[in-house]
Amino acid sequence: MPSNDADGNIPTDNLEDHSIFRRPVRTYVIRAGRMTENEKRSYEELHHVWCIPFEHRTLNFTDIFNNTNPVTMEIGFGMGHATAQIAQDNPNMNYIGSEVHVPGVGRLLGEIKKRQLKNLYLIEYDALEILETMIPDNSLAGFHIFFPDPWPKKKHHKRRLLQRPRTDLLVSKLSPGGYIYFATDWEEYALSAVEELSCTEGIHNKYEKFAPHQEWRPRTKFEQKGLDAGREIFELVFVKDEE
């Protein structure tokens, strides 16, 4: 039996059918993290209330939110501070957050209860599989992608979320006029994302290159640490063409 390489893939030399031996390339890794007692309690008590189970079915947003307000999806909400604040500030918008980090899910569930939010649901699963399986085409008002893993090593660039054909999948789920809003403190990733999004059919850059900070987006603790360390924040806003 061949051994796995550093990325968890079985070497495919001399194998007739490579595809059946490869693990899918993930845009994330699940890192160990201790949950606080509050996060554990929120996770146990509220997961069945505010988390949508991953299933091979297409979601009906009207049934979920009991209204027809626009729906925005956040990919990788971390600990969920900005997610909860944006949902609270925009009660006439609906939000779906995806995350695989269990402590973050627990923390945001607690915020949903604390703030009495009715317009935010979570899916604890791989965002790309959620998009492929559960999100209807042309249905989302926007994507929020705030400080995803930049995968700085060149050999790991294949794991980055904002590259084709993954960006084509994102665009297929946006309604006309919908947007992709991306923020990072990793300049090389920002430059790469500009190129990949600019090459993606059906969307255009709202700005000449990088966007100014969107004042409605709360700064996160992670972002503030970057600013305190002298790192620059790069933001992009791409909009789907009107049909």
Of residues 7, 51, 42, 45, the one with CA closest to residue 26: 7
Q: Is 242 annotated as a binding residue?
A: no
Average pLDDT (34-58) is: 96
Opening angle at CA 183, ends 133 and 72, nearest 5 = 40
* 109 close to 51: Cβ distance less than 8 angstroms: yes
The whole-chain average pLDDT of the chain stands at: 88
Burial call 105-143: b when 16+ CB within 10 Å, e when fewer? bbbbbbbbeeeebebbbbbbbbbbebbeebbeeebbbbb
**155 vs 55, which has greater pLDDT?**
55
The rounded percent of the chain whose pLDDT value lies above 90 is 75
69-124 confidence digits (pLDDT tens) = 999 999 999 999 999 999 999 999 999 999 999 999 999 999 999 999 999 999 99
Q: Decide if pLDDT at 5 tops 60.
A: no
Q: Is 206 annotated as a binding residue?
A: no
Q: Would you state the torsion angle of the CA atoms of residues 151, 157, 160, 162, taken in this order, to the nearest 10 degrees?
A: 130
Query: Which one of 7, 149, 228, 241 is the catalytic residue?
Result: 149
Q: Is 149 a catalytic residue?
A: yes
| Domain range list for the chain | 46-240
Angle between helices 81-89 and 102-115 (to 10 degrees): 30
Q: Is 225 annotated as a binding residue?
A: no
Q: Give the predicted TM-score (pTM) of the model.
A: 0.86
169-180 confidence digits (pLDDT tens) = 999 999 999 999
The label of the residue with tokens 């703030």 reads 115
Going along the chain, which residue ranges are E strands? Answer: 71-75, 94-98, 120-123, 140-146, 174-184, 203-205, 234-240
Q: Is 243 annotated as a binding residue?
A: no
Q: Is 99 annotated as a binding residue?
A: yes
Map 182-212 to HEC letters. EEECCHHHHHHHHHHHHCCCCEEECCCCCCC
Residues contacting residue 40 through CB under 8 Å, at least 6 positions apart: 106
Q: Is 87 helix (H, G, I), strand (E, B) or coil?
A: helix
Confidence of residue 31 (pLDDT cuts 50, 70, 90): low
Q: What is the pLDDT of residue 158?
A: 85
Which DSSP helix (H) or strand (E) runs through 47? helix 37-50
Q: Is 118 annotated as a binding residue?
A: no
Residue 182: C-alpha distances to residues 54, 63, 159 (Å):
25, 29, 16
Query: Which CATH code fits 46-240?
Result: 3.40.50.150
Cα 74 from Cα 68, distance rounded (Å): 18
128-146 confidence digits (pLDDT tens) = 999 999 999 999 999 999 9
195-220 confidence digits (pLDDT tens) = 999 999 999 999 999 999 999 999 88
